[in-house]
Structures are given as structure tokens and as C-alpha cells.
Structure 1
Amino acid sequence: MHILHILNDIRKLGNGIINIAVDLACLQAESGCTVAIASAGGEYEALLAQSGVKHFYLDQRRKPITLIKAVRDCQAVIQAFQPDIVHAHMMTGVVLARLLTIKFDYALVSTVHNEFQHSAILMGLADRVIAVSHAVMESMQRRGIPAQKLRVVSNGTLGSPRQQPVASPVTLHRPAIATVAGMYRRKGIAELITAFEQVALDHTTAHLYLIGDGPDRAIFEAQAEKSAVSDRIHFEGFQPEPQGYLQSTDIFVLASHQEPFGLVLSEAREAGCAIVASQVDGIPEALDGGRAGILVPPANPAALAEAIAQLLQNYDWLDTWKRLAQENLEWLSIKRVNNETLAVYSELIKSDINLSTISDTRYRQIRNID
């Protein structure tokens, strides 16, 4: 099977969409498929090459001249690679790939990662639309995507080909409360800082670590600076390998207002953190419905502070939630995500491609994923 993934870029910036797509491409190539990625490039090109994944340069920046050229360049990529499946992970890619089905015969798959964006409706142009959680699937159905197009492949990242050898724990002040998130308002960073201010008054040894970067970081730094506990709020910036922080974290918090799934939760669970997270979108699914972490209402600093304080007040309770986080981790593996994604491809190929027109080698590759 020839599989082409289309992404904006493959830079190593902690972007969950890129991470999942790179993981899938590597595992699919290892399974015997012929795989390529078309993007503007980035640090993951070396890893892809090691896994036998071809990279085509494709600039999809949303500027009129660039987009006109992108249509031509994408056509050249498809002409050269002859994919059976084109898998678009971002909006521009799915539009380009749909336009080119006029000239080429392939099945188009999209994955909806950020369904809260208005333009996510464009992902419905694909023949099959993969939702990263049941919450995302239900949202896309409400927005008019036909149920017969939608398939749920829940996110997961454990066992990623991108993972480096386990990092040594980073030395943190304990008890350590941490989040790994982009510095965006929707990630609930402001509410987490407010909640920590309340908790820190009674728990004088607790520290908060904010791991990540983004456009709103200066706003959050200003908020923290005004706090009476500013010396215990640490902005650590983007960390390409945050596992060392997670291994030293007592309580991991994901306070998002919107979150299709929350890939970082799988890593926090694997590291054995007690978890407090918003009861919104796909987060409850990532936490086994609340069995692997404490769920609180989003955008509610008081509820967040109460949950954190309860864990800090009772170390037996804290240890219990650390243990629960590490139970039932198998389903969060990237191998499971890949197998389910391949099943979606296989479904399309069986229905849309006449196997008698495919070479014997390609036929055997297709049958191997059944």
C-alpha cells in the first residue's frame, strides 16, 4: 500500500498533530507499506529517513501565490508517488488533496485533531474522517459531517518511534505541580496560576512548573509576577523531551477549556503522576472516564485548587492516584493507533479500488493489514 501523509511541516515543536503523523508514518513503513510525507520539512526528516519514509517538500502557507504553487507541487508529488491513500492532517492539505482527486485515483482520509477551530469542517471533504476521540466525533456530527464518514481512532503516543531513551528525572522542588502545554489561553494556564496561588498559601513547600511556550506566555508571566508566590511559579519553556520533568512531578494538571484528547495525559500517566484535569471534550476519555485522574469543571480555579489541595493534604490519597494513573495504559499505545488507522485505509481500498488492477506486490501489502 502506498500511503502519503500531508502536513504543514514536521518541526520538533511539541505539536501533537505532527507527532502523531510522524509516528504513524514510521510504523506504517516498518510494517511494509510504502510511505511518504509531504510538508515544508523540519527536524523529523532524519527520523523519517531512518524508518524508510520518503519526504517531499510542499509549502502550504496560506498566501495566494504560495497556494497556487502548492497545487502544482502537490500534483507533482502525487504523480511521482502514486498513492493509494492520501492522509491529510491539516485543513490546507485536505483541500489540496480533494482538488486533485479530479486527476488522480486515491482514497482521501483526514484526521480531525482540533475540531474547535471553525475551519475543521473542511476535514469533512475526505472520504473517511478520523476523530481522535468520541467527543470529537460527536462534535463533527453536530457540525454536519455524515456519521458514515466518521471513524474514531482514539489518540495515543506510548511506544512512539520519536521517543528517546528515558531521560533522567529533572530535580524539582517537591511537592511539584506541573503542566506541559502550549502557552495559550485555551489551555487554562491563567486558571492554573490562580488555583496555585490559593493552594500555595497553605502548602508552603509546593512549587508550580509551567512547561511549554506560546503567544500568551508574556501574559501569564505578568500574572505570576503579581502573585504573592511568584518565586514558586517557574516558566520552563518548551522542552522537546519533557519526560524528565514528568518523572519528578507529583501532580500533573491539564486545565484546558477545550481539548480534543490531550496526548500529554498518556505521558503523564506513564510517568506515574497524580492527574487533575478539566472535564471537557476528550479529556475524560484519556483518563478512563475519571478512573485514572481527577476531573474538575473547566475554567474554574476554585475547583482546581480544591482538587490539588486534597492531594497535597493526604499523601496516601496522592499515592493512590499516582498508582491509578498507571493502570490500563496498553490502549494508549501508538501501535494500537496505527493498527486502527490501517484498518480505516483497508476499508477504503476494499470499497474504492479494483484490486485486480494492482500489482501482485501491492496486493500482498494491502492484504497484510487485514
Structure 2
Amino acid sequence: MPRRSTLYHVDGERGFRGGERQLLYLAAALRANGRRNVVYCRAGRELEAEARRRGFEVRSLPFFCGLDLYSAARLAADARREDAVIHSHTGHAAGIGALASLAGVPFVAHRRVDFPVGAVARVFKYGCAAKTVAVSSAIARILLASGLPEEKIAVVPDGIPVGAEENAWCQTDPGRYKPPTTEERNQYRRILSEELRIDPAMTWIGNLAALVPHKDHDTLLAAAVLVLFQRPNARFIIAGRGPEEPRLAAAVERLGLAGKALLVGHREDAALLLKSLDVYVQSSWGEGMGSVLIEAAACGVPRAATTAGGIPEVVADGETGLLVEPRNPEALAGAIVRLIDDRALAKRLVERGLSGLGRFGLKRMAADMEKIYDAVA
């Protein structure tokens, strides 16, 4: 029997992005292993709704700021009463977890971004954590370079449900992360072509990412211009929301990409979009790991991406995808055109990507995390 079977998953984000999805995947796998999971989040936000829909116990905190004493005191009191381990899934939540840990509660922090770690974060947020979990070795190296001791760092990659059992844990369609049949793919493209007004006979190149600076959509748009010079039947579908959206919409017009590069907003049907694509592209200059690249592989889509952060730990250049240096639109355009033109290469990369999905399964992720929880408790 685990020393502490109750786990508090803390996330104060206002939106629902990859990190929140990973939190729920992990909690689902831990629940299947007999652990009790409680999600602490903002009231009325999408994470609360999604967690409740999946049957998790949810408690709200105000998350007034990154060092919110009120939220930390409530969290610490609950954890002491229920003998729980606190697991903060974001940088902001790590501040509250660190404060709560001063009451003697075991605390684990998660680090998903490959940005430099400041002195205050290293000493307090991550210094108070019994273990900081990095989703890639690239992030682990950044934490180590910041001065965090190696023994306080663990690498646990993100994952997706692989196979019927893991999909059942997550209450997801077993076919969600699975390559479509030709008939299914044609159907998905017909549906999207009517909505987005794109000819299904054209080449569809897609990107699913928050519209924030480090995802570097400027490089993607510049690459789109270059690709369209060579392959005018290509169309770019960019899905996501974020503060960069107005500026990127203006850039689409300025670059003459209207009707050729479409900003389609947040998509509830992300897997359907992935399965409709001819090429998936990730243009980031900063990327902790890039879990959407795992999803693209599972959906059978050839991938072109940059070497930013932890991406090379997900995509092996020339083996499971094509990688180029960040902020290089010419190289990114070249990789995209190569995948468009060389379908034998694209097929081979997809097959190798599919064969390696097991290492990103939820059983593995939960087992790695349970070792950490039990060690720190």
C-alpha cells in the first residue's frame, strides 16, 4: 500500500492547454492504480469542468498570485489533514506549493517549459520541492545549470493514452490517437473543407499551438510564403488561441497569405484536424517537449519541426520526422516541401514514429511518477 495514496494536483491556469491535458491523463492513470486524485484549480474554468466530467474530485482556490498565502494555507491544511502529496503542475502553482510545503507537506513540482530559471524560482519554488519533474532532458539541463541539485531533478516525459486500456482510463475514444483509414481521412477532410473552405484536393499543412511568442508563428508564416512559391496548392491551417492572434492575423494579410494560411482558433476536434493533414509542422524556438508531436505521430501524420528544447527527444531527425534549426524559415520550408514531395520518406517516418509510441504511454508515466511520490512521502 502506498505511503500516501492521496495526491493533490494543483494548476491555477485560466485556460486549458497541453499541461492541463497532461494533468488529467496522469490523474486518470494514477486512479487506475488505486490512487486518490484531487484537482485544485480556479473555479469556473475549463480545467474544473473537464476534471469533473472525468469524475475527479475538484476543489477551487483563488490563486491570487504566484505566492498566494491564502491559497497556500488552505492547501497545506487540507494536505496535512488528508496526508496528501502536493503536485504543482505549473510554475505559478509551484509558488503556492512551495509555501504549503513549509508546513511539512511533501511537495513535487513540474517544469514543462525550457525557459531560463530565475534565482528566486530556483531557490524557493524548486528549491522547496522534494523533487522537480522535467518533461525532457533539455529542461533538466536548464534546471541543473540554474543551480538546482541533480538529485532533486527527475525526467518524466509527457504521454498520451496508448491502447484500449489507457483510453478507457481517460474516457477517450479508442480511435482518437490512431491513424485513420483512407475512408475516414477523406470524410474528415470533407467536413473541414466545408467549414474552412479549403479544397480537399490541396496539400494541408497544419500547426496546433497556443499563439504565444515562443511557438514562433512568424517563422511558420515566413516558411509558408516560401512553400507556396514552390507548391502553390499548399494550404496552412494554424489552430490555437493566444495574445499573438491579432498581430498574426495582420501578418497573414501583409504577407499575402489570406486564404492560404488560416488562423482557425481553438479546436475541440484537434485529433480530427491532425488526421486530415498531409504534414504537421512545429515552428517553436522554445519548447519543453511538444506533446502535440506525439499526438501527430499517433494520428499517422509526418512531422517537420525545429530542434528547440525537448523536441529532439520526441522526434528523431531522419528517423521519425525532419528537424531543422529554430528561426530558420528557409530550412523549415525545405523540410515541409520534402515531406510533400517524397511520400515514401513520409510514410517511412510515420511508420517508425508509430512503432515508438509505447515509450510515451500512460502506464509508463504513472509508474515513473508513483516512484517519485513514494520516495518524497
| TM-score, scaled relative to structure 1 | 0.85
Which of 261, 264, 272 is residue 300 of structure 2 equivalent to?
A: 272
- Checking the alignment, whether the CA contact within 8 Å between 1:158 and 1:266 is kept in structure 2 is no
In the alignment, structure 1 residue 207 sits paired with structure 2 residue 216: no
Q: CA deviation at 1:118?
A: 4.1
1:23 matched residue in structure 2? 25
1:94 matched residue in structure 2? 94
2:154 matched residue in structure 1? 151
Letter in structure 2 aligned against 1:303: A
Q: Secondary structure at the match of 1:304?
A: helix
In the alignment, structure 1 residue 244 sits paired with structure 2 residue 272: yes
2:70 matched residue in structure 1? 69
Which of 3, 6, 9 is residue 10 of structure 2 equivalent to?
A: 6
Tell me the distance in 2 between the aligned counterparts of 1:59 and 1:29: 26
Which of 260, 270, 278 is residue 232 of structure 1 equivalent to?
A: 260
Which of 320, 324, 338 is residue 292 of structure 1 equivalent to?
A: 320
- Checking the alignment, whether the CA contact within 8 Å between 1:136 and 1:260 is kept in structure 2 is yes
Tell me the distance in 2 between the aligned counterparts of 1:127 and 1:184: 31
1:262 matched residue in structure 2? 290
Tell me the distance in 1 between the aligned counterparts of 2:95 and 2:47: 24
Which of 133, 136, 140 is residue 133 of structure 1 equivalent to?
A: 136
Tell me the distance in 1 between the aligned counterparts of 2:80 and 2:336: 55
Letter in structure 1 aligned against 2:128: L
- Checking the alignment, whether the CA contact within 8 Å between 1:166 and 1:243 is kept in structure 2 is no
Q: CA deviation at 1:185?
A: 2.2
Q: CA deviation at 1:136?
A: 0.8
Change (3 A) 1:219 1:275: same
Q: Secondary structure at the match of 1:323?
A: helix
Tell me the distance in 2 between the aligned counterparts of 1:124 and 1:288: 33
- Checking the alignment, whether the CA contact within 8 Å between 1:254 and 1:278 is kept in structure 2 is yes
Q: Secondary structure at the match of 2:46?
A: coil
1:36 matched residue in structure 2? 38
**Number of aligned positions between the proteins:** 343
Letter in structure 2 aligned against 1:152: V
Q: CA deviation at 1:207?
A: 0.5
Q: CA deviation at 1:137?
A: 0.6
Q: Secondary structure at the match of 1:239?
A: coil
- Checking the alignment, whether the CA contact within 8 Å between 2:66 and 2:93 is kept in structure 1 is no
Tell me the distance in 2 between the aligned counterparts of 1:301 and 1:162: 39
Q: Secondary structure at the match of 1:266?
A: helix
- Checking the alignment, whether the CA contact within 8 Å between 1:95 and 1:125 is kept in structure 2 is no
What are the ranges of 5 or more consecutive residues in structure 1 without an aligned counterpart? 350-370
- Checking the alignment, whether the CA contact within 8 Å between 1:29 and 1:51 is kept in structure 2 is no
Q: CA deviation at 1:158?
A: 3.1
Change (3 A) 1:331 1:348: same
Change (3 A) 1:107 1:286: same
- Checking the alignment, whether the CA contact within 8 Å between 2:16 and 2:47 is kept in structure 1 is no
Q: Secondary structure at the match of 1:252?
A: strand
1:363 matched residue in structure 2? none
Which of 198, 202, 210 is residue 182 of structure 1 equivalent to?
A: 210
Q: Secondary structure at the match of 1:191?
A: helix
In the alignment, structure 1 residue 163 sits paired with structure 2 residue 163: no
1:109 matched residue in structure 2? 108
Tell me the distance in 1 between the aligned counterparts of 2:171 and 2:317: 28
Tell me the distance in 1 between the aligned counterparts of 2:87 and 2:305: 31
1:77-100 CA-partner distances (Å, limit 9, x unpaired): 3244331x1111123433333333
Tell me the distance in 2 between the aligned counterparts of 1:196 and 1:254: 12
- Checking the alignment, whether the CA contact within 8 Å between 1:246 and 1:268 is kept in structure 2 is yes
- Checking the alignment, whether the CA contact within 8 Å between 1:179 and 1:253 is kept in structure 2 is yes
2:369 matched residue in structure 1? 341
- Checking the alignment, whether the CA contact within 8 Å between 2:117 and 2:142 is kept in structure 1 is no
1:10-57 CA-partner distances (Å, limit 9, x unpaired): x6x441221111222222122211221212143344554465532111
Q: CA deviation at 1:288?
A: 3.8
Tell me the distance in 2 between the aligned counterparts of 1:208 and 1:249: 10
- Checking the alignment, whether the CA contact within 8 Å between 2:91 and 2:110 is kept in structure 1 is no
Letter in structure 2 aligned against 1:94: A
Tell me the distance in 2 between the aligned counterparts of 1:92 and 1:186: 18
Q: CA deviation at 1:311?
A: 2.1
1:307 matched residue in structure 2? 335
Which of 311, 315, 331 is residue 283 of structure 1 equivalent to?
A: 311
| Identity between Structure 1 and Structure 2 (%) | 23
1:356 matched residue in structure 2? none
- CA RMSD, aligned part only? 2.3
2:226 matched residue in structure 1? 198
- Checking the alignment, whether the CA contact within 8 Å between 1:23 and 1:162 is kept in structure 2 is no
Tell me the distance in 2 between the aligned counterparts of 1:102 and 1:125: 8
Tell me the distance in 1 between the aligned counterparts of 2:292 and 2:327: 19
Deviates more, 1:47-56 or 1:20-29: 47-56
